[in-house]
């Protein structure tokens, strides 16, 4: 007669129906799931410069066209909508692994960790379609600019030209009617595209939408004037930015869209596009951008550039300088530190210091004229 063993002596199976893996097997699986992260970083860091340049001129604009098409079709900022959807989806997926009923605690922990590293790897791989551009040869090298040759005299001449433009075009700006962000984008985008086509010999993709996002008050508090979304080709502007400064910030962001990842180089393109614009509003914006940094440079008579400004330009410059001073709180400092880490991790070894490269780059470019 066959006797079944008592239920209490039957071997226990995990409720998930899967035999638990050894610690070594769990760690190997975790390593495999996290492989995309270092693999992508290795590829980005070791690709030959010529390949990255070829990517910037061929694949990158087409990816940009597709992503900007998606962003443009969205009823609001695609970046904000995608962020909310992705964070919610990722939280649900990771959370479902952490809470899986009947799964032993250790396995739940490893399953959760595997999902987190996979998501980070996918995020980084997608980011690289933009981030790889930080590894391009510098614009100074591609354009043949002698930045080391920019001395105090070159900066004084640049400040003098900026003062002349600001005094001439400031009153015209004050009289001009207000302009929508879209109208401004449509006017400036061709200027940026033509400048890059002339310098690089290839016309970039630049048709990204520009929007003021819902989080604009937050980005203002963080000391940010504009953002180019690395995940969609979309420009997000700080709605609190004073109108005279908007053209240059917009042109800077459009330069990012066009493949100029480094901050100083995006400003080089943005300032030059506005400086050479037939529209007085753009020229005025470029002059104010430069005077932000050059206001205290002594001109030929020994007085600082700021002292040579007419009432319109001095009012607009002082308002911007005061706004910048007011945004130096702990929140803005933390954002600056985070941005510095982000830029260095992405491949811009100068970090936030690269923002300050713009004036010397512009002086080198305009010194050719
Ligand atoms: Zn930027």
pLDDT in tens, 270-324: 999 999 999 999 999 999 999 999 999 999 999 999 999 999 999 999 998 888 8
Q: Are strands 210-211 and 235-237 parallel, antiparallel or unpaired?
A: parallel
pLDDT per position as a tens digit, 178-233: 899 999 999 999 999 999 999 999 889 998 899 998 888 888 888 889 999 888 88
Q: Is the pLDDT of residue 95 over 80?
A: yes
Report the alpha-carbon angle 204-278-170, nearest 5. Answer: 120
Cα(159) to centroid of ligand 1, in Å? Answer: 23
Cα(311) to centroid of ligand 1, in Å? Answer: 30
Buried b (16+ CB within 10 A) or exposed e, 259-289: bbbbbbbbbbbbbbbbbebebbbbbbbbbbb
* Residues 320, 170 contacting (CB under 8 angstroms): no
* Residues 210, 250 contacting (CB under 8 angstroms): yes
Cα(193) to centroid of ligand 1, in Å? Answer: 17
* Residues 94, 113 contacting (CB under 8 angstroms): no
Read off the pLDDT of each residue in 33-52 and give the average, rounded to a whole number. Answer: 81
Bridge partners of residue 236, in order along the sequence: 211, 227
Cα(2) to centroid of ligand 1, in Å? Answer: 79
Cα(8) to centroid of ligand 1, in Å? Answer: 67
Tell me the pLDDT band of 122, cut-offs 50, 70 and 90: confident
d(CA 3, CA 22): 34
Cα(263) to centroid of ligand 1, in Å? Answer: 5
Give the pLDDT score at 3: 40
Cα(224) to centroid of ligand 1, in Å? Answer: 9
d(CA 239, CA 215): 10
Tokens of 96: 């479902």
Cα(354) to centroid of ligand 1, in Å? Answer: 10
Cα(352) to centroid of ligand 1, in Å? Answer: 10
Cα(39) to centroid of ligand 1, in Å? Answer: 27
Residue 131: count of CB within 10 angstroms of its CB: 21
Give the pLDDT score at 120: 86
Angle between helices 152-175 and 311-326 (to 10 degrees): 100
d(CA 225, CA 102): 50
* Residues 131, 230 contacting (CB under 8 angstroms): yes
d(CA 312, CA 290): 16
Give the pLDDT score at 369: 62
Cα(63) to centroid of ligand 1, in Å? Answer: 19
Cα(103) to centroid of ligand 1, in Å? Answer: 46
What are the extents of the domains in the chain? 23-134, 138-366
Cα(109) to centroid of ligand 1, in Å? Answer: 39
Give the pLDDT score at 368: 59
d(CA 132, CA 237): 24
Tokens of 234: 């979309």
Mean residue pLDDT of the chain comes to 86
Cα(102) to centroid of ligand 1, in Å? Answer: 49
Distance of CA 182 to the CA centre of its chain: 20
Cα(179) to centroid of ligand 1, in Å? Answer: 22
Helix (H) or strand (E) holding 25: helix 23-33
């Amino acid at each position: 007669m066959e006797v079944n063993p008592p239920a209490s002596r039957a071997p226990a199976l995990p409720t998930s129906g899967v035999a638990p893996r050894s610690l070594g097997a769990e760690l190997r699986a975790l390593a495999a799931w996290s492989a995309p992260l270092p693999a992508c970083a290795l590829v980005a860091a070791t690709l030959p410069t010529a390949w990255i340049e070829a990517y910037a001129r061929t694949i990158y604009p087409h990816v940009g066209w597709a992503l900007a098409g998606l962003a443009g079709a969205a009823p609001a900022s695609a970046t904000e909508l995608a962020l909310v959807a992705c964070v919610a989806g990722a939280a649900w997926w990771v959370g479902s692994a952490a809470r899986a009923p009947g799964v032993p605690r250790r396995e739940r922990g490893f399953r959760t960790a595997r999902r987190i590293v996979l998501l980070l790897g996918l995020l980084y791989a997608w980011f690289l379609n933009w981030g790889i551009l930080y590894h391009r040869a510098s614009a100074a090298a591609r354009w043949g600019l002698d930045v080391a040759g920019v001395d105090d005299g070159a900066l004084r001449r640049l400040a003098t030209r900026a003062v002349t433009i600001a005094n001439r075009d400031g009153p015209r700006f004050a009289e001009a009617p207000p302009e929508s962000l879209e109208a401004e984008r449509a006017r400036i985008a061709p200027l940026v595209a033509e400048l890059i086509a002339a310098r690089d010999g290839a016309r970039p993709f630049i048709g990204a939408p520009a929007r003021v996002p819902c989080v604009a008050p937050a980005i203002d508090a963080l000391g940010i004037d504009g953002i180019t979304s690395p995940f969609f080709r979309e420009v997000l502007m700080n709605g609190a930015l004073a109108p005279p400064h908007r053209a240059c910030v917009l042109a800077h962001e459009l330069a990012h869209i066009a493949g100029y990842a480094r901050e100083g180089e995006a400003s080089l393109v943005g300032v030059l596009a506005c400086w050479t614009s037939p529209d007085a509003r753009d020229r005025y914006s470029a002059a104010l951008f430069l005077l932000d940094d050059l206001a205290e440079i002594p001109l030929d008579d020994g007085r600082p550039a700021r002292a040579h400004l007419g009432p319109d330009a001095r009012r607009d410059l002082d308002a911007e300088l005061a706004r910048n001073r007011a945004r130096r709180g702990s929140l803005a400092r933390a954002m600056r530190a985070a941005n510095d880490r982000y830029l260095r991790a992405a491949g811009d070894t100068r970090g936030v210091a690269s923002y300050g490269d713009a004036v010397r780059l512009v002086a080198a470019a305009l010194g050719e004229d």
